[in-house]
Amino acid sequence: MPGKLSLAALCLLAGALTGCADDIIIEKNVAMTTRDGVTLRADVYRPKADGKYPVILERTPYDKGIETFGKRAAAQGYVFIVQDVRGRVASDGEWYPLKHEADDGYDSVEWAAALPYANGKVGMFGFSYPGGTQLMAAMANPPHLVCIMPVAIASNCHEQWVYQGGAFSQLLNQAWSTALAFNTIEKRGGKGTPPANWDTKRPLIDYPILEGAAADVAPYYYDWLKHPDYDDYWKRWVIEEHFNQIQVPILHVGGWYDMFEEGAIRSYLGIRNHGGSEAARKGQRLVMMVGGHAGAGPKIGDIDFGKSVVVDLGELALRWYDYQMKGIDNGMAGEKPVRVFLMGRNVWRDLEDWPPANAKVTRYFLHSGGKANALTGDGALSTTPPATEPADQYVYDPADPVPTHGGPSFGGANSTPGPYDQRTVEARPDVLVYSTPAFAQDTEVIGPVALELYVSSSAVDTDFTGKLIDVAPDGYARNLSEGILRARYRTSREQAELMQPGEIYRVTVDLGSTANVFLAGHKLRVEVSSSNFPRFDRNLNTGADIASPDPRAIKATNVIYHDHEHPSALVLSVAP
C-alpha cells in the first residue's frame, strides 16, 4: 500500500490557480454556525475597496490553508471564501464523507450571501471532493446560489468512486482514507503512521488505515465494505438520484484518464435533461480536458499532448463567474455547450452535444481461432459479425492478478495514472488481445465505449475487465479507457446474483468514454481479462462477501464466446 497520500495531490488546482494582488483583505478562520450548532471556519479573500461583491465559495476537506485561488479571485472583484468542511482541519464536528455536505453547503451559501461585503450572489467552486460539495449543495437548492463549477468529481459515489462495476476501488479508497485520517487523529491529540509495506492481497477488512490508531479514525472505509450493493446507504448521496432538484447553471469539467471521468459527462447530460428548472436544463456546460487527477499536462503519463492541452482553470472559472454572476458579455453566451480535447490529433473540439450527433454507434466484433491469449495470439476485431468460431479462454488466478498499468488510477506513490505502453500487460496468457488491421485513414472515436461479451466461468463469481487501446505503427499500445464488471452484479448493482458455473451469460462492461483519432496506420485494440490490481480489489472467485476476513481464493477458467449466437463486440461511437 502506498504511504501517506499528499493532500496537495488531491487538489491539483493548487498548481494551476496562481495569482496575487496587494489591494485585498485576507481574514483567517472566519466562523459560521450550522443549523445544528457546529462551527465551521473559513478564510475570506476580498477587495479592500468598499462595496458589495459576488461570492465564490469553496468547501474542502483538504485544508483551506493550501488554497491559491483566493488572491486572484479577489483581485478580479470577488469575495473568495474557502471553508474547511465539517470535522476537517479548523472546523468542528464529525468528519464523515458526504454525510453533511448538502445541509452544510446550504447553510454556508446562505451565510456567505448575507455577509456585509457580499451582494447576495454566490457561486461555488472546487476540484475533486470540493466538486462534490458543490453538487450536494445544489441538490439542497439554497436561494442565493447562482452557479457552480465542479471539476473532476463523480456523479455517483458508489459506481464511479468507491466501487465500479461492482468491484471495490481498492487503491483509491485505502490511500484516500489513510491520507485524510492523519488530520482526524491529530485533532484527537493522537498519532499514527501509514501502513508499512502493506500486503494489498490481505483481506480488505484488515486494512488498518493508520498503524497505532483505532479503526474509528475512518469508520466510513469499513462502512463502504459493508455496503457493496447500491442500496439506500448510497442513494441519499448520489447526485444522479437528485438531478431534478438542481436548479442552477453548471460548468462541469472532467478529464480523460481522470478517475471521475464519467462523473462530469453524466452530470452534464442528466441535469441538462432532468434539471429542476429551465435555467438549469439550458445552462449546463461540459469541458473534457486530459488529466485531472492524472496530471495537469502537457505531459500525462508517457504522452506529451502539447501545450494546448493545459487548461488554466482559474481563467476558465473567472470567465464563468463573470458571465453568470456579473452579466459580462465575454463570449460565453455564444459558445457551444461542449468542449472536448480530441486525442490523437491533440486539438480542441467544440460540440453541440455529447456524443456528437453525427457519431454512429459501431460494433467491432471479436474474432479468433480460439487462441487470442496475449499479444502473440490470433485475436482480431472487425465490423463483420462472427459465424462459427471457437471460444477463447484463460485462467484467472487471484494470487497473480493482472497489474494496474496507468489509466485512471490514483492512490499515492505507487500510482502512475495516464497513458502508458500496455505491451507488458498484453504479454500475459490471462489477457485476451483483439486488434483491427491498421486503419487506411484517420478514424475518430468520440463517445461512450462498452464491451458486450458472452461469457462463462468455472466459478460462481469472477470479474471481467476491458481496455481500449490505440496501437501506433511501431507497436506502442496506448491505453485510452477501461472498465470492470463483477459478474454477480451483471444484472443489477442493487442485488448480487451468483453465476451457475459453465452457464453462458451476456454481460456489458462499461469502458467509460473517450475522444480519440486513430490516425492512419494505427490499429484499434481491446484487451479482455479478469483483474486490474490494485486499482480494483481481486475477485477471489468464491462468491464470498468482500468484507469477509476469509482469505481463501480459487482459480477460475473464464471463457469468452464469439460466434453467430454469441456475437461479443466492442461498441464505439465513430464520427465521419
With helix as H, strand as E and coil as C, how does 318-379 read?
A: HHHHHHHHCCCCCCHHHCCCEEEEEECCCEEEEECCCCCCCCEEEEEEEECCCCCECCCCCC
What are the pLDDT digits (tens) for 47-96? Answer: 999 999 999 999 999 999 998 999 999 999 999 999 999 999 999 999 99
Mean pLDDT of 23-49: 97
Amino acid at 89: V
| Gap between the Cα atoms of 189 and 335, Å rounded | 52
| Gap between the Cα atoms of 160 and 55, Å rounded | 30
- The pLDDT confidence band at residue 130, using thresholds 50, 70 and 90, is very high
Mean pLDDT of 461-484: 98
Fold exhibited by the domain 360-575: Jelly Rolls (2.60.120)
| Gap between the Cα atoms of 438 and 325, Å rounded | 50
| Gap between the Cα atoms of 134 and 466, Å rounded | 32
Cα atoms in the 13 Å half-sphere on the side-chain side of 74? 26
The number of beta carbons lying within 10 Å of the beta carbon of residue 454 is 20
What are the pLDDT digits (tens) for 281-340? Answer: 999 999 999 999 999 989 999 999 999 999 999 999 999 999 999 999 999 999 999 999
DSSP secondary structure letter of residue 162: I
Statement: residue 364 has pLDDT above 70: yes
Using CA atoms, how far residue 98 sits from 4, 46, 234, 271, 482, in Å, is 22, 28, 10, 20, 27
CB within 8 Å of 207: residues ≥ 6 apart = 1, 174, 177, 195, 198, 221
| Gap between the Cα atoms of 559 and 395, Å rounded | 9
Q: What's the chain's Rg over C-alpha atoms?
A: 24
CB within 8 Å of 423: residues ≥ 6 apart = 375, 475, 476, 477
Mean pLDDT of 473-500: 98
| Gap between the Cα atoms of 527 and 525, Å rounded | 7
Q: What is the C-alpha end-to-end distance of the chain, expressed in Å?
A: 45
CB within 8 Å of 37: residues ≥ 6 apart = none
DSSP secondary structure letter of residue 107: H
Question: 233: helix, coil or strand?
Answer: helix
The number of beta carbons lying within 10 Å of the beta carbon of residue 19 is 16
Question: 433: helix, coil or strand?
Answer: strand
Burial of 282 (0-12, 13-18, 19+ CB in 10 A): exposed
What is the DSSP code string of 441-471? S-EEEEEEEEEEEEEEESSSS-EEEEEEEEE
Mean pLDDT of 364-384: 98
What's residue 214's pLDDT? 78
Statement: residue 234 has pLDDT above 90: yes
Which residue's C-alpha cell is 458455473? Answer: 501
How do strand 167-168 and strand 163-164 relate by DSSP bridges?
antiparallel
What's residue 20's pLDDT? 43
List 43, 104, 229, 258, catalytic entry? 258
Query: By mean pLDDT, which of 85-99, 137-151, 180-194, 315-329 is the weakest?
Result: 180-194
What's residue 190's pLDDT? 82
**Bridge-partner residues for 147, per DSSP?**
123
How do strand 569-575 and strand 39-47 relate by DSSP bridges?
unpaired
The set of cell numbers assigned to 87 is 470535522
List 91, 108, 128, 458, catalytic entry? 128
List 100, 293, 522, 566, catalytic entry? 293
With helix as H, strand as E and coil as C, how does 18-52 read?
A: CCCCCCEEEEEEEEEECCCCCEEEEEEEEECCCCC
- The pLDDT confidence band at residue 19, using thresholds 50, 70 and 90, is very low
Most distant pair of Cα atoms in the chain: their distance: 79
**What is the sign, positive or negative, of the torsion defined by CA atoms of 379, 380, 385, 388?**
negative
What's residue 12's pLDDT? 40
Mean pLDDT of 405-419: 88
Mean pLDDT of 162-176: 97
What's residue 16's pLDDT? 38
How do strand 250-256 and strand 145-151 relate by DSSP bridges?
parallel
The set of cell numbers assigned to 260 is 471521475
Using CA atoms, how far residue 197 sits from 2, 37, 160, 172, 181, in Å, is 8, 42, 27, 17, 18
What's residue 24's pLDDT? 96
The number of beta carbons lying within 10 Å of the beta carbon of residue 218 is 28
How do strand 53-60 and strand 79-84 relate by DSSP bridges?
parallel
Q: By percentage, how much of the chain surpasses pLDDT 90?
A: 89
What's residue 471's pLDDT? 98
Statement: residue 414 has pLDDT above 90: no
**Bridge-partner residues for 256, per DSSP?**
290
397 counts as catalytic = no
Which residue's C-alpha cell is 480489489? Answer: 537
The set of cell numbers assigned to 438 is 491498421
Query: What are the residue boundaries of the structural domains of the chain, listed by start?
Result: 8-159+233-351, 167-227, 360-575
258 counts as catalytic = yes
Statement: residue 181 has pLDDT above 70: yes
What's residue 442's pLDDT? 98
CB within 8 Å of 552: residues ≥ 6 apart = 540, 542, 544
Q: Are 314 and 14 in contact (CB under 8 A)?
A: no
Q: By percentage, how much of the chain surpasses pLDDT 70?
A: 96
Q: Are 512 and 288 in contact (CB under 8 A)?
A: no
Q: Are 249 and 283 in contact (CB under 8 A)?
A: yes
What's residue 191's pLDDT? 82
What's residue 183's pLDDT? 84
- The pLDDT confidence band at residue 10, using thresholds 50, 70 and 90, is very low
What's residue 296's pLDDT? 92
100 counts as catalytic = no
- Stated pTM of the model: 0.95
- The pLDDT confidence band at residue 192, using thresholds 50, 70 and 90, is confident
Statement: residue 14 has pLDDT above 80: no
What's residue 576's pLDDT? 87
Q: Are 443 and 368 in contact (CB under 8 A)?
A: no
- Which position has the higher pLDDT, 270 or 11? 270
Query: By mean pLDDT, which of 9-13, 243-247, 267-271 is the weakest?
Result: 9-13
The set of cell numbers assigned to 557 is 477458467
Mean pLDDT of 148-164: 98
Average pLDDT for the chain: 94
What's residue 70's pLDDT? 96
The number of beta carbons lying within 10 Å of the beta carbon of residue 277 is 15
Statement: residue 18 has pLDDT above 80: no
How do strand 347-351 and strand 380-382 relate by DSSP bridges?
unpaired
Query: Would you say domain 8-159+233-351 falls under CATH 3.40.50.450?
Result: no
Statement: residue 543 has pLDDT above 60: yes
Query: By mean pLDDT, which of 9-13, 116-120, 377-381, 454-458 is the weakest?
Result: 9-13
